[in-house]
Chain A
Amino acid sequence: MYARRAAQLLQELSSCEEGQLPPYNGDKFDQVIRECEEHSRQFQSLIRDKDIETKNEDHYGSFIHHLSIIRNKRCLMAYMYKRAEVIQSYRWNVGRVLPREIQDKLNFSEQEYFKDYCGVIDSYMKDLDLDLTVDMVPPKDPYIRVRVLSEIGEVSLGDHAVSLTKDSFHFLRRTDAEPFISQVLLHSIILMLNFECVIIF
């Protein structure tokens, strides 16, 4: 009673690491809701036929029940809100499809929320014609080294032309190379170390 269980729910949530969720505790959630109903019944029985203005014992008793309901509501709302925030972050950090162990921790309405959120993000990205989930951290280098996978031929990039023959290496600006990388015609080489080894051999 008096919001103990709701506080336990929140303890469970806060004891998890940042960005992780415990499994949805539906039992405790329902218990808290039943507690609220009990408080509401007691409140109704104390407030019946009484003059609101007189501040007698019944008034204070009903006030305590009212405060308990408000408190339980706040705890449950905070629980759902925090879980919703973490689910949103899953779309950006994990991707469109959630692995099995994460899906088991969500209840049915949370899984629906995730699907709807993905749908909203996708329609927004379609309108912008940009994939926002790539490059969550701004890349350090504006240039990248690429290797051509299939023959493209002469391409004019900005002020100079580059001949993209098969298996040739080039040092291009990231924005110039990106459309070719997305069509899987170029393969970017991130590790300069590997590149040096190949040349010497």
Chain B
Amino acid sequence: MPGYYDISDILMEDEAVSVVFHVGANGVGLLDPGTETNSVEKGAKIDLPFWLAHELCRRRAVSITIPSCFGQKMKKDVQADAACVDLGTRYPYFYEFGCKLFPLVGDKSIGPFLRHTFANRYKEMLSKSHTASLNAIPKFVLRLSKEEYQLFEAARSSMVEFKKWRVRDLGLMKTTIVGHKRKTDLH
């Protein structure tokens, strides 16, 4: 569970969601760029950061509309080819955001949708991460969300460690071979 000091959790909660206010609110006119008075009207549709929307929704002051990343178009894209969907640039906190949004919105299909997306993307990511070279960043890495990127890094670093482990004894073998040559100059 993310802690109070967890930076990626804090940044994830900064994602914008569209909400509809059930009540008015005074003194917060800056939230709604279209308002003349320093307040938000009942029934206004505004984009709020998720941390604010989450608390207000818990107290039934707003209701959250499902953002586009879990909408119909996204579902069609995932159905077509899950691995090609670009989560890295558009929705880097796709999975965590979905998990937090799920209890607040009435849509029960978000959970299975997240699992389905992850399962389809995982297969390709698994094979590519074990064969990826250390220096070049393959293009598909840019399409990964933050959580998938951590898995990718873990796989890559474990492959590097494995390769190091395989050649660890070769160092000694090289020494004995070099030792038989005559060295004429010694620095």
A interface residues, Cβ below 8 angstroms from B: 1-3, 7, 10-11, 13-14, 42, 45-46, 55, 57-58, 60-65, 67-68, 71, 74-75, 77-78, 81-82, 192-193, 196-198, 200-201
Contact = CB atoms under 8 A, between A and B. Distances in A.
Given A58-B26, A60-B23, A65-B27, A78 B52 contact: no
Interface SS of A by simple majority: helix
B80 interface: no
B175 to A, nearest CB: 5
Contact of A193 (B30, B52, B175): B175
A58 B175 CA distance: 80
Contact of B183 (A61, A67, A201): A201
Given A1-B30, A201-B186, A61 B5 contact: no
B178 interface: yes
Interface string B23-35: 1111110110000
Contact of B10 (A2, A46, A67, A74): A74
Given A71-B51, A198-B186, 5 more contacts: A14-B11, A42-B27, A57-B24, A63-B25, A82-B5
A129 B175 CA distance: 38
A101 to B, nearest CB: 23
Nearest to A60: B25
Given A45-B27, A196-B179, A60 B61 contact: yes
Contacts of A193: 175, 178
B10 A10 contact: yes
A193 B52 CA distance: 64
A200 B182 contact: yes
B36 interface: no
B55 interface: yes
